[in-house]
Structure 1
Amino acid sequence: MAFENPSREEIADLLRNAGNIAVVGLSDRPDRTSYMVSAAMQTRGYRIIPVNPGATEILGEKCYSSLKDIPESVDIVNVFRRSEYCADVAREAAEIGAKVLWLQQGIVSEEAADIAKNAGMIAIMDRCIKVEDSIALGGR
């Protein structure tokens, strides 16, 4: 069966109930899409947890080398990495008990989606979390 993203209503519920959002591949450079999207989500009230082994702090939040290093629960793992790295991210997201694996716009990995599904997570692919928040929740 072909992959299908959740409905807009389901995405709205996921965002409405999201606590911590770990952002894998969040850049510390303000001109990068990952930074701009995460900064906008943070401004809208979401808690952003940066995951980038090359940084110590991004957007005023402590940065972690991997999802497994985050000492608190994560609801959504938002991924800004190339498709070939997403299966490993999905495995790590499953290990920490994340609820949602969200691959940003332009990122598709059927393998990652299958891993997420088999671990009881919801997978979203090729969608921008900031755009979906604006559409589903009107930017809160």
Structure 2
Amino acid sequence: MHHNDPAVIRDLLHTPATWAVVGLGDNPNRTAYQVSLWLARELGINLIPVHPSAATVHGFPGRARLADIPDGTTVNVVNFYVNSSLVGDCVDQAIAEKERLGIGALWLQLGVIDEKAAARATQAGLAVVMDTCPKIEWPRIVPGDGAGAISG
């Protein structure tokens, strides 16, 4: 069974990076939209929205698939906002793009659980965080920081 490593979480949230956010569209009522806005504003994360609509979100141009991210782009983390029943295929796509994009870690959001996919990713040399959210983890690693609120 997968266990999240607090040191990996700390490193991911403290390192300036580019995160591809699979499932991030332009609907402001979706959790992916709200949390990704927090990642960009509060943590300075560069985002690549990955959604079939390929919409620009928070000023970041979107892509329909991970495979559509241009060569020469480094994606440090792939963050998944997809149903658990679909995430295995998405993880496999990230594994396939690992070398080309320099992917080092996968983050499966709160409620997104696939033990077999996490094992495949770990075996492929990727760090994996599963079934939690950066906004939940941030105050655990930076108590009293106050960066939890999304300003409108």
Q: Do Structure 1 and Structure 2 share a fold, with TM-score over 0.5?
A: yes
> Corresponding residue for 1:118?
123
* Alignment partner of 1:20 is 2:21: no
> Corresponding residue for 2:31?
33
> Corresponding residue for 1:6?
5
User: Shift in Å at residue 18 of structure 1?
Assistant: 4.5
| Partner secondary structure for residue 50 of structure 1 | strand
Percent identity, aligned pairs only, is 36
Q: Deviations over 1:89-120 (max 9, x none)?
A: 11111122211111100111012101211110
Contact 2:8 2:127 survives alignment (8 Å): no
> Corresponding residue for 1:50?
49
Contact 1:5 1:125 survives alignment (8 Å): yes
User: Shift in Å at residue 64 of structure 1?
Assistant: 0.3
The structure having more radius of gyration, on CA atoms, is 2
CA distance in structure 1 between the aligned counterparts of 2:8 and 2:123, rounded to whole angstroms: 19
User: Shift in Å at residue 69 of structure 1?
Assistant: 1.1
CA distance in structure 1 between the aligned counterparts of 2:110 and 2:54, rounded to whole angstroms: 23
Q: Structure 1, unaligned stretches of length 5 or more?
A: none
Q: Which moved more, 1:36-45 or 1:95-104?
A: 95-104
TM-score, length-normalised on structure 1? 0.90
| Equivalent in 93, 99, 104 of residue 99 of structure 1 | 104
Contact 1:18 1:75 survives alignment (8 Å): no
| Partner secondary structure for residue 60 of structure 1 | coil
CA distance in structure 1 between the aligned counterparts of 2:104 and 2:134, rounded to whole angstroms: 15
| Partner secondary structure for residue 55 of structure 1 | coil
> Corresponding residue for 2:63?
64
Contact 1:23 1:78 survives alignment (8 Å): yes
User: Shift in Å at residue 17 of structure 1?
Assistant: 2.2
Contact 2:108 2:129 survives alignment (8 Å): yes
> Corresponding residue for 1:129?
134
CA distance in structure 1 between the aligned counterparts of 2:19 and 2:27, rounded to whole angstroms: 19
